[in-house]
Structure 1
Amino acid sequence: MEQVTQRGLTSAEVAERVALGQVNDVRRRSSRSVSAILRANVLTLFNGVIGVLWVLIMIFGEWQDGLFGLVIVANAGIGIIQELRAKRTLDRLAIVNEAPVKVRRDGAETEIPPRQVVFGDLILLAPGDQLLVDGETVDSDGLEADESLLTGEADPVHKLPGDEVLSGSFVVAGRGSYVATRVGGDAYAARLAEEASAFGLSHSELRDGITRFIKYVTWLVVPIGALLTWSQVSRRTGIGEAVTSTVAGIVTMIPEGLVLMTSIAFAVGVIRLGRRRCLVQELPAIEILARVDTLCLDKTGTLTSGGMELGEVRGLRDDLPVPEALGALANLDPDPNPTARAIQTRYPDSPGWTVAAKIPFSSARKWSGAEFDGHGCWVLGAPDVLLPPGTPAYTEAGALAATGLRVLALGKVASLRDPDDLGTVEAAAIVVLRQRVRPEAAETLAYFAEQGVTVKVISGDNPESVSAIATSVGIPGGERAVDARTLPDDNPEKLAEIMEANTVFGRVSPHQKRLFVGALQSRGHTVAMTGDGVNDVLALKDADLGVAMGSGSGATRAVAQIVLMNDSFAGLPSVVGEGRRVLANIERVAGLFLTKTFYAIVLSLLTGVIGLAFPFAPRHSTLINALTIGIPAFFLALAPSNERARSGFVPRVLRLAVPAGIICATAVYLSYWIAQSGAATLAESRTSAVITLFVAAWWVLALVARPYVWWRVALVASMAGLFALALAIPFTREFFALTLRDPAAGGVAAGLGVAAGAVLTGVFAVMRSRRTGPGQGDIQSVQDRSTATLGT
C-alpha cells in the first residue's frame, strides 16, 4: 500500500489491466446503442400489423392499394435517422461533460477520463468530486464523504485509511486518496443504477398516454376487423374485394405515425438543446421541462458568477496577526475554493505558519479552521455562525451583508478538538468579498415571471446578502429574506406554508435544500432545481428536474438531468421552451391521429352492421392521411411553442378526438349512402366519400393549426391544393381510383364535408369555452403564444 501511495500504478501495470478488461467501461446513460435504436424503430407492433396487411393486399388486391406499406419504411427510416442524430449529439456532449479523474501514475499526478480508470488505480479526491468506482481509502486529510444517495443517511461519513468507499458517494470536505478495487459494472453504484439509468421514457406521461392509445386500439382491431371481414365476405363480392375493404378499415384505425412524431419531437428537442450546449442526460427531462412551475435557484454560481474578488479586510484587533492568519488559512488547500483564491490574491503566503491540525470547510459547518504551531487556532467562516449575536463585529458584518456583499469572519479560538463546540471566538477581522451578478440574470428571471414560473432563491449564504442580490435582479418578494435556521424542519406542513409564502431563503443547509424541494412538491408543484456546488447534490437529485452548471462539481453534474455546458443561466429559457414545444405540439398532432382512428372505428362499425362495402380503398386512406395528418403533423410537431403543459394528456385529447371522429364518420357515411342510393357505381360512391372525408379532416387540421401565422396558412392551403391536383390530373386520378363523372355529386359530397366542418367548429368553440388550463378540452388550446425563443 505504501508503494501504491508513493507512485500509483506504472504504465505497464495499467496496460496489463486494460488487456484483462479491468477498466471502468460502463454504459453512458444519455443514449442507447445503435442496435437498440434499430430494434426499437423496426420491430414494433404497428410495423408488424401493417406488414401483415400489406402482404395480404399484395396477394389479394392491387399494388396501388399497398402504398400504406411505405409507412413502415418512413416510420423506421425517419425515426432511426433522427435518433442517431440525437445519439451523436448526446454522446459528444456527454464526453465533454465527463469530469476528469485525477490519478497518480508513475509517481506523477494526471487527469484521465472516467472510462480509463483501471483496477488498482490510485485516485485523488477533493471537495465536490464524485466517486466513480469502489475502493479502499489510502490517505485522509479530513476526508468526509456523503453517501446519502446510496444509504439515505444525510450525515457525512469521515473516511480514515483502510475504510471502504463506494461509487455514487461524493466528497463534501477534506482531501484524500483511495485505491480502486471494483470498476465498471462491478462497482456498487453501477449495479444499483443499471435499471434506473436505462435509456427510455418509461416515466413519461406523454409516452404512457400514447402507449395506452395503442393498447386500446390493439384491443379494438381484432373484433372490429373480424366484424368488417365477415360483413365484406357476406356480400359475396369476392375475396380480393373483401380483403381490400377490410384492410382499408384496419389500416385507417392504426395511428401509425403518432409514435414516429413523438420520437422525432423528442429527438429534435435533444438536438436543439445540444446546439445550445445543453446536455440532456435523461430524455424524460424534455417532458418535465414543459411542466415546471417552480424554479429553485442557488445564488452562488447561478445568479452570481462563480468567481469572487477580495474587497477589504477590516481588522478588529491590532494585537492579532490578521494578514498572516488569512494567508495561512487561504493556502491550506492545494486546490483552493473561490473564496480562498480571492484571499490568496492579496495574501499569497505566510512563512513560518506550520499546520498542526486542520478542519476543512463544509457546507454544513460553514467554516474552516486550522491549528498552527506557535500561532494558535484560527477559524474563517460565516459571521452569524462564528460570532455571538449582538456584538459589534456581528452587527457590522450583518450591515455589510445587507448590501449584497459576501462577508466572512476571521477569529481565534482556544481549540479545534470539538468542531461542534468551538467555545468563544475572538473576532479578529471582517473579510469582505465582492460577488459578480451574472449580466443575463435579470432578463432571464423576467422571462420566468412572464411564463408563470415561480422563482425561489435557496442559498447557504447570509439571508441579507442573498436578499440584496435577489432584489438587484428583480425577483418579486426578494426584499424579504428568511433565515433557514429558524424554520421547522420537523413540521413538513408548516415548512410547505412558509415555502409558498416566501421567495428568498438564506443559511440553508444541504439537508434543508432537500426538504425545501420536497415541501414544494407536496403542494403539487413541479420543481426544477439549479446548482453547481456539492451542497446542491441532494436537492438536485430529489427535484423533478435537476439543472447543473457545466463548471460545477462532478457530483452535481452526475445527478442532474440537464447540464448547461456553457454555464449560461440565460440558456434556461431555451431549455424550458424546448420542453413546452415538444409537449404542446405532440398533444396537437395526437388529436389529428386519434381523430383518424375514431372515424375509422365508427366507419368500420357502420360498415359491419349495415353491410355495405367499406367507403374507401387503402389507396384513398393513404392519400387522405398524407394530406390531412402525415405531412402537416411533421411540421406542426416541430413548430415553436411556449405554453406550459399540465397533466391530463389522455382525457384532453380524447375529449376532442372522439366527437371529431364521430362527426367525420357520420358525414362520410351519409355521403357514401346518398351516392349508393342513386345510380353511382362503387368507384363513384367511394370518390364522394373521399371528397367528404378530405374536407372534414382538412377542417380538423385547419382548426388544430391555429393560431395562424404565414407558414401555417401556407401549410393548410397547400394540402387543399394538393388534393385538388389529385382530382384534376388524370394520372393521379386514375392512380388513386377517383371517379367523378357527375359534378353535382361532387358538390353534394363537398357540401357534406363543409357541414361537418361547421359542426366541428361549434364543438371546438364549446371545448374552448369550457377549458380550464392549457390544452384542456381542445387541441387548439395548446397554442404558440411565443415564437421568439426557439424560432421556426
Structure 2
Amino acid sequence: MTATIEGLTTEQVRAATRDGRANVPVSGSGRTTARILRTTVFSFYNNTLFVIGIALLALGRYSDALVSVGLGIVNAALAAFQELRAKRQLDRLQLLAREPVTVVRDGEERTVSPVEVVVGDLVRVRTGDQVVVDGPLVTGGRVEADESLLTGESDPIPKEVGDHLLSGSSCSGGEGLQRAEAVGADSHAGRLTIAARADTTALTPLQWRIDLVVRLLILLVLLMSGAILAQAALDGSTVLRFVQTSAVLSGLVPYGLFFLIAVAYTVGAARLAGRGALVQRTNAVEAVSRVDVVCTDKTGTLTSGRLALTEVVAADEAGARALLGTFARSVGSTNATTAALAADDTLPGEPADVVDEVEFRSSLRWSGITLADGTSLVLGAPSTLRAALSDPAGADERAVRQRTDQGLRVLVLARGHGALRDAGGRPRLPRLRAVALVALADELREGVTDVLTGLAAEGVAVKVVSGDDPDTVAALARRAGLDAPAIAGPRLAPLDGDAFDEAVATHGVFGRIAPEQKEQIVDALRRGGHQVAMVGDGVNDARALKRAQVGVAMRSGSSVTRDVADIVLLDDSFTTLPPARTEGRRIISGVSSSMYLFLSRVCTQMLVILTVTLLGLGFPYTPTQVGLTLFTVGVPTFFLTMWARPEPPAEDLLVSLARFVIPVGVLTAGFGTAIYAFLYRRVTSGLSGTPFPRAVELFEQYTGLTYGVDADFVEASATLGAQSGLSVFVSTSALILILLLQPPHRIFAAWRPVSSDRRPTWLALALFAAFVAVLLVPATRNYFGLTAPDPPVLPVAALGVLLWFVSLSLVLRYRVLERVLGLAARPTVGP
C-alpha cells in the first residue's frame, strides 16, 4: 500500500482495519483469570479441603468443618484476590495516551482516535503531540522528538524527513506528516507494553522456604494418611470417624504459614505507606530487605529533574548576574534552564520588552532575545557560540572542561547588537561578546547522599545506569558520594557472556545506556547471584524494573513505570528505602520465629498420631481439639511476627529450624504419647470391672453414651480422657515454647539469649489463662471435646510438662542433636 500526500482513501482504511492492521492497543496480561483461580483456589490441597469440608457439613459437623478447612479457604481467597488485583493493574497499563490525532485521508485532514490509525495513514505531528505509531517523517522539514521516556536521552532529538519517529515519544518542536508503518503490538510502544505486562511474579527466599517445607509436609501427610485411613477402613470405622480423621490429617499441613506471611506483608505495606512508599507487590516488602545491589537511573531518581545555578564566572559578576536574570525573566518560551535561572533569588533583573525571540532547540543549542533598544542576549552551549564570539577566550575550553568534569552544565551568556535572524527569518548568530560563563547543576534529591552512604555501610552496591553522557553521570555520582568507574553503552554493546558480566560487575556508572541494556545489566547482576533493586521513573526503565527482584518507581515518573513497579516512592524520596529494608527484615525475623512454632506443632502431632495409631489406642485428636492450636500457635505467631525486631536474613534458616523442631517434636511427641497411653489404660481399667459411680456418671455426660448399654462406652471414655490429657500437655508445652523463643529469664535461655521484650511473656500468660478458662467453662470445654480438669488428667499432664521442660532444656542447651549426628555444635547460644 503506497501513501501519497492525499493520504489513504476511506476504502483503503476499511481494508486495513479488516486485515488487522489498525493501531489496536495491546490487551491482556500473561496470566488469565482462569489460570489464576486454578492455581490459587483450586489447587490439590484446597480441593482436598473442599471435599472434607463438604463431607463434614453433610454429616452435620459444622464446627469441625469450620476449624479444619476454614483457614485454608480464607488463605486461598486472599491469594486469589491479590493475584487478580495485580492482573487488573497490568491490564490497565497503556503507554500511549488516548487523545485524538489528526490524519490525512481522501486529501483532507480528519480527527480520529489513535486506535483508528492504520498502516499507511499519514499522521499530523505537531509540537506537544504524542507520537502514536512508528514510521518515517515524510513532510515538514525538521521535527524535534523528545524520546527521554523511551531512551533516557534528556535532550530532544532532531528528526529530518526520512527519519523514523517512535511511538511513545513526543514532538517538542516543529511540525510534519508521519507515515504509519508499525502499529498496535508491532509498534515500539506496543512492544514495550507487552514487555511491561509480562507476568514476572517470583517467590522470595522466605516464601520459597515456606513453600518447600509445606510441600514436603504434604507429601509426608499423604503417605501417613494413606496408611492410617486404610487401617481405619479395615477396622470398620464409621463414615463420621473416617471424615474426622481425614480432617485432622489435612490440618497437619501448616497452611496457616501462608496466611501469616500474607498478613505480615500487608501490615508491613501499611507501615511503609505511612513512610511515603506504596507497596504494589506485597512480597516486595521482604524482597527489598535482601537486596545487595541497587541500580538507579540518574534524572528523576538521583536528581529532582531541576537545575540549580552554581556559578557565574565573569569580570563583572554583579553586572553579569543582573543581565542573566533579565534574560531568564524576559523569555517567553521557558525551558528547564531558564526556569531555574528565573527562580533563583540571587539573580537580580526584571523582565524587559522583547521584540524578537529565538526559542531553544536542540538543533540550535542556543536561545536568544532582542530587546527594544536593539540589544540581543544569547544563552547557549560554548562550542556553538564560540565561533560567533569576538573574543573566543570568553568560552575558554579549559574553564568549560574543568566544570563539565564536575558534572555541571556550562553555558555562555553573550550580548550583541545584530539581529538573531537572517533575511529569510531563519535563526542565526550575530557577532557577540561573551558576558559570563554560567554553570548549573542537576539538583540532587534530598537525602540521596545519606541514603547512598547508609547502603554502602550495609554492603549494598549502588550502580547508576543512565542514558546521559557517562562523564556527566560519573561526576554527578561523585557529588552524591558514589565514586566508581564509568563505562559507556557503546563499549558494552559488543561484549557478551562472561566479558559482559565482568564489565557490569567492575563498573559502578553506566552512561549512554539503551533501555534494553538496562535490562541486560540487571540480568548480568542476577546471574552473578545478586539480589537486585532497580529504581527508575521513565518508560525506558520499565523492562529493567520488571527484571529486577524489586522494581522501585518515583511517583512523578511515567504511569507505565508506576504500574509495573513493586514499590512506588510517593514523595520521590530515596530516604524511604532504608525504612523499607528495615521493615522487610522485621517481617523475615517474625515469620521465621513463627515457623519454629508452626513446625514444632506439626512435627509433634504427626509423631503422636503415628505412635498412638501403631499402639492401637484409637485416634488421638478430633478436628475441634486440633482447633486449640488457634490459641497455642495461631495467636502467638501473629503477635511474634508483629513484634519482631529487624535482623539480617539468615541463609541457614532451614538448618536452624531442623535443629530446633526435631528435638522439640520428638520429645513433645514422646511425652505426649506416654501421657495418652497412661490415661487411656487408666480410664479403661477404671471403668472395667466395678467402676466408681461418679466416674461412670461423668463419662456418660462427656460421651453421651450409657454404661452397660453402649458397647463402645469404655473405649470412647478412655479415648476422651486420654485426648484431654494430651491436649492439656501439648497446649501448655506450646505456650512454653514461646518463652524458649523469647526468653524472659535465663532459665528459659536454652535456645536463645534472654530477651528484653516482655510482651511475649505476657502473651503466653494471657493465653494460658484463656486455656484454663476453656477447661473450666462447660460450654467451651464441650465444644473442644475435653473433660474437666479432674484427676488423673490434670496431675499427669502437669507432671509431664515439668519433665518435658527439663529434658528439652538440656537437649537444646547442650546441642544433643548435633552430638548424636556427629556435627560440631555452635560456640554461641542461638540459632
TM-score (norm 2): 0.66
Where 2:307 maps in the other structure, the secondary structure is strand
After superposition, the Cα gap between the structure-2 partners of 1:382 and 1:741, relative to the gap in structure 1 and judged at 3 Å, is farther
AA aligned to 1:251 is: S
Which residue is equivalent to 1:566? Answer: 571
Where 1:101 maps in the other structure, the secondary structure is coil
Among 407, 410, 422, the alignment partner of 1:408 is 410
> Displacement, 1:289?
1.0
CA contact (8 A) 2:40 2:80 kept: no
1:673 aligns with 2:677: yes
Pairing of 1:715-734 with structure 2 (within 5 A):
715-734=763-782
Q: Deviations over 1:66-90 (max 9, x none)?
A: 4424615861597279849x94999
- In the alignment, the residues of structure 2 paired with residue 429 and residue 94 of structure 1 have an alpha-carbon distance, to the nearest angstrom, of 53
> Displacement, 1:621?
0.5
- In the alignment, the residues of structure 2 paired with residue 306 and residue 101 of structure 1 have an alpha-carbon distance, to the nearest angstrom, of 23
Which residue is equivalent to 1:47? Answer: 46
Where 2:67 maps in the other structure, the secondary structure is helix
- Counting matched residue pairs gives 701
- In the alignment, the residues of structure 1 paired with residue 593 and residue 100 of structure 2 have an alpha-carbon distance, to the nearest angstrom, of 56
CA contact (8 A) 1:550 1:563 kept: yes
Which residue is equivalent to 2:513? Answer: 510
Runs of 5+ consecutive residues of structure 1 not aligned to the other structure: 108-115, 150-155, 361-367, 413-425, 771-775, 783-792
Where 2:225 maps in the other structure, the secondary structure is helix
> Displacement, 1:614?
1.9
After superposition, the Cα gap between the structure-2 partners of 1:120 and 1:758, relative to the gap in structure 1 and judged at 3 Å, is farther
- In the alignment, the residues of structure 2 paired with residue 535 and residue 327 of structure 1 have an alpha-carbon distance, to the nearest angstrom, of 37
- In the alignment, the residues of structure 2 paired with residue 428 and residue 769 of structure 1 have an alpha-carbon distance, to the nearest angstrom, of 82
After superposition, the Cα gap between the structure-2 partners of 1:526 and 1:552, relative to the gap in structure 1 and judged at 3 Å, is same
> Displacement, 1:618?
1.5
Which residue is equivalent to 2:116? Answer: 119
Which residue is equivalent to 2:730? Answer: 693
After superposition, the Cα gap between the structure-2 partners of 1:753 and 1:334, relative to the gap in structure 1 and judged at 3 Å, is farther
- In the alignment, the residues of structure 1 paired with residue 76 and residue 383 of structure 2 have an alpha-carbon distance, to the nearest angstrom, of 59
> Displacement, 1:250?
0.8
AA aligned to 1:229 is: L
Per mean C-alpha deviation after superposition, the further-off stretch among 602-611 and 198-207 is 198-207
- In the alignment, the residues of structure 2 paired with residue 529 and residue 737 of structure 1 have an alpha-carbon distance, to the nearest angstrom, of 55
CA contact (8 A) 1:90 1:280 kept: no
- In the alignment, the residues of structure 2 paired with residue 203 and residue 176 of structure 1 have an alpha-carbon distance, to the nearest angstrom, of 49
Among 628, 635, 645, the alignment partner of 1:631 is 635
CA contact (8 A) 1:23 1:118 kept: yes
After superposition, the Cα gap between the structure-2 partners of 1:303 and 1:195, relative to the gap in structure 1 and judged at 3 Å, is closer
> Displacement, 1:228?
0.9
1:469 aligns with 2:469: no
CA contact (8 A) 1:119 1:183 kept: no
CA contact (8 A) 1:143 1:171 kept: yes
CA contact (8 A) 1:206 1:649 kept: no
CA contact (8 A) 1:135 1:180 kept: yes
- In the alignment, the residues of structure 2 paired with residue 587 and residue 172 of structure 1 have an alpha-carbon distance, to the nearest angstrom, of 53
Pairing of 1:771-782 with structure 2 (within 5 A):
none
Which residue is equivalent to 2:591? Answer: 586
- In the alignment, the residues of structure 2 paired with residue 3 and residue 638 of structure 1 have an alpha-carbon distance, to the nearest angstrom, of 68
Which residue is equivalent to 1:221? Answer: 221
Where 1:743 maps in the other structure, the secondary structure is coil
CA contact (8 A) 1:444 1:573 kept: yes
Where 1:678 maps in the other structure, the secondary structure is helix
1:575 aligns with 2:569: no
Pairing of 1:477-488 with structure 2 (within 5 A):
478=482, 480=483, 482=485, 484=487
CA contact (8 A) 2:196 2:543 kept: no
CA contact (8 A) 1:598 1:661 kept: yes
- In the alignment, the residues of structure 2 paired with residue 592 and residue 131 of structure 1 have an alpha-carbon distance, to the nearest angstrom, of 58
After superposition, the Cα gap between the structure-2 partners of 1:223 and 1:716, relative to the gap in structure 1 and judged at 3 Å, is same
CA contact (8 A) 2:671 2:804 kept: yes
Among 527, 533, 536, the alignment partner of 2:532 is 527
AA aligned to 1:118 is: V
Pairing of 1:164-563 with structure 2 (within 5 A):
197=197, 201-234=201-234, 238-239=237-238, 242-243=241-242, 246-247=245-246, 249-274=248-273, 276-280=275-279, 282-283=281-282, 285-298=284-297, 300-314=299-313, 336=335, 338-339=336-337, 341-342=339-340, 359=363, 380=381, 393-397=396-400, 400=403, 406-408=408-410, 410=412, 430-445=437-452, 447-448=454-455, 451-456=458-463, 460=470, 462=472, 465-466=475-476, 469-470=479-480, 475=481, 478=482, 480=483, 482=485, 484=487, 489=492, 491-492=499-500, 495=503, 498-499=506-507, 505=509, 508-510=511-513, 521=526, 523-532=528-537, 540=545, 543-553=548-558, 557=562, 560-563=565-568
CA contact (8 A) 2:663 2:812 kept: no
AA aligned to 1:685 is: A
Which residue is equivalent to 1:645? Answer: 649
- In the alignment, the residues of structure 2 paired with residue 123 and residue 641 of structure 1 have an alpha-carbon distance, to the nearest angstrom, of 60
Q: Higher relative CO (CA 8 A, sep ≥ 6), structure 1 or 2?
A: 1
- In the alignment, the residues of structure 2 paired with residue 162 and residue 486 of structure 1 have an alpha-carbon distance, to the nearest angstrom, of 26
Among 755, 779, 798, the alignment partner of 1:750 is 798
Q: Deviations over 1:336-381 (max 9, x none)?
A: 3x34543577899997676999538xxxxxxx57999xx9x99738
Q: Deviations over 1:295-343 (max 9, x none)?
A: 344555444433223344436999xx9999999999999683x345435
CA contact (8 A) 1:308 1:339 kept: yes
Where 1:672 maps in the other structure, the secondary structure is helix
Among 585, 595, 603, the alignment partner of 1:598 is 603
Which residue is equivalent to 1:788? Answer: none
After superposition, the Cα gap between the structure-2 partners of 1:734 and 1:513, relative to the gap in structure 1 and judged at 3 Å, is closer
CA contact (8 A) 1:628 1:701 kept: no
The percentage of aligned residue pairs carrying the same residue is 25
AA aligned to 1:396 is: A
Larger Rg: 2
Which residue is equivalent to 2:622? Answer: 617
After superposition, the Cα gap between the structure-2 partners of 1:486 and 1:568, relative to the gap in structure 1 and judged at 3 Å, is closer
After superposition, the Cα gap between the structure-2 partners of 1:735 and 1:255, relative to the gap in structure 1 and judged at 3 Å, is same
CA contact (8 A) 2:366 2:380 kept: yes
- In the alignment, the residues of structure 2 paired with residue 660 and residue 723 of structure 1 have an alpha-carbon distance, to the nearest angstrom, of 21
> Displacement, 1:243?
1.6
RMSD: 5.9
AA aligned to 1:684 is: G
Where 2:115 maps in the other structure, the secondary structure is coil
1:662 aligns with 2:666: yes
TM-score (norm 1): 0.69
